[in-house]
């Protein structure tokens, strides 16, 4: 270990020691841009991003942006694409290290490393941009509590060296920022998916994610059109007890289809009683003479 490497190691170690316990397990490249204090809805910070700032658009390149199911729904409608078309043109499958569940990433331009929706003027899909972009420079952390029915949420501030937005004087609370950027609405639509991810991470090796189950998870979360065909063109409705009202709702409503898919995935992954299996028909023994 040379002197430069040793300095990096010590700085990284010291920063990790000052982080809240839940943050210490984050990768080094993530920890190194975090302000080491947990934040809540009322925590305040200064930030503003605008075209006149020198680093404008710098945060839109060389990054991994996970697309949530609602992100994809909004972007597909914005671009007038089917799920298959969007996945082919703009997404790359990625398997989460913890939980081994597949999720889509935005496919960055292979030559420039930039987001395909980035332009010199800013984001070309700004009003329908992914929730990760809406949160920046706030990070959202979620933890699943085994003995409770809810997840614990906290926030942290991301301060990358090139970002000059933190030098601006406009002040926000986390709650004000989330409302201004529309993150709160996205969180509501993504709640079922986020709960699935957290539960699978917490379950560890106790839950087996087979290749077939991974394929179903990816289809259900990224392609409501294909999942709809699976529901209505297979024996699905013969095997699960689904209310008629729900059947009619998911027939044409993609948002309702996603919520339905989340409930089904919770049932098959964790045994949640979100979706009842129809009892097998009893056979009547033949009359004896």
pLDDT digits (tens, 9 = 90+) for 37-50: 788 999 999 999 99
The pLDDT of residue 33: 57
* Positions of the chain with pLDDT lower than 50, given as ranges: 1-20, 22-32, 147-148, 288-289
- Could you give the CA distance from residue 151 to residue 96 in angstroms, rounded to a whole number? 19
- 253 and 136 in a common domain: no
Domain, as residue range, for 30: 16-199
147 and 165 inside one domain: yes
At 263, phi and psi to the nearest 5?
A: -60, -40
How many domains does the structure of the chain reveal? 2
Give dist(CA 11, CA 15) in Å, integer: 6
The last residue of a domain, from among 182, 199, 216: 199
Q: How far is CA 191 from the centre of its chain?
A: 9
Q: In the listed set 157, 184, 199, which residue is the last one of a domain according to the structure?
A: 199
Whether residues 212 and 188 fall in one domain: no
pLDDT value for 213: 79
């Amino acid at each position: 270990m040379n002197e430069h490497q040793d300095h990096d190691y010590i700085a990284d170690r010291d920063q990790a020691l000052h982080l809240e316990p839940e943050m210490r397990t984050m990768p080094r490249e993530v920890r190194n841009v975090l302000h080491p204090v947990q934040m809540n809805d009322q925590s305040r910070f200064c930030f503003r991003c605008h075209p006149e700032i020198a680093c404008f658009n710098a945060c839109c390149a060389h990054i991994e942006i996970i697309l949530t199911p609602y992100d994809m729904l909004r972007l597909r409608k914005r671009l007038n694409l089917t799920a298959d078309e969007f996945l082919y043109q703009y997404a790359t499958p990625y398997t989460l290290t913890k939980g081994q569940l597949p999720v889509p990433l935005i496919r960055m331009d292979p030559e420039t490393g930039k987001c395909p929706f980035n332009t010199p003027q800013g984001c070309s899909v700004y009003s329908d941009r992914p929730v990760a972009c809406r949160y920046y420079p706030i990070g959202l952390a979620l933890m699943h509590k085994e003995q409770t029915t809810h997840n614990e949420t906290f926030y942290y501030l991301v301060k990358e060296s090139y970002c000059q937005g933190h030098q601006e004087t406009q002040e926000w609370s986390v709650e004000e920022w989330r409302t201004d950027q529309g993150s709160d609405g996205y969180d509501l639509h993504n709640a079922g998916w986020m709960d699935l991810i957290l539960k699978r991470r917490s379950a560890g090796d106790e839950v087996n994610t087979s290749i077939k189950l991974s394929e179903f998870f990816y289809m259900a979360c990224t392609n409501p059109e294909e999942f709809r065909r699976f529901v209505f063109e297979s024996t699905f409705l013969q095997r699960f007890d689904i209310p008629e009202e729900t059947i009619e709702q998911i027939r044409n409503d993609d948002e309702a289809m996603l919520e339905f898919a989340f409930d089904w995935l919770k049932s098959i992954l964790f045994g949640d009683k979100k979706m009842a299996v129809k009892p097998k028909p009893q056979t009547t023994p033949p009359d004896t003479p």
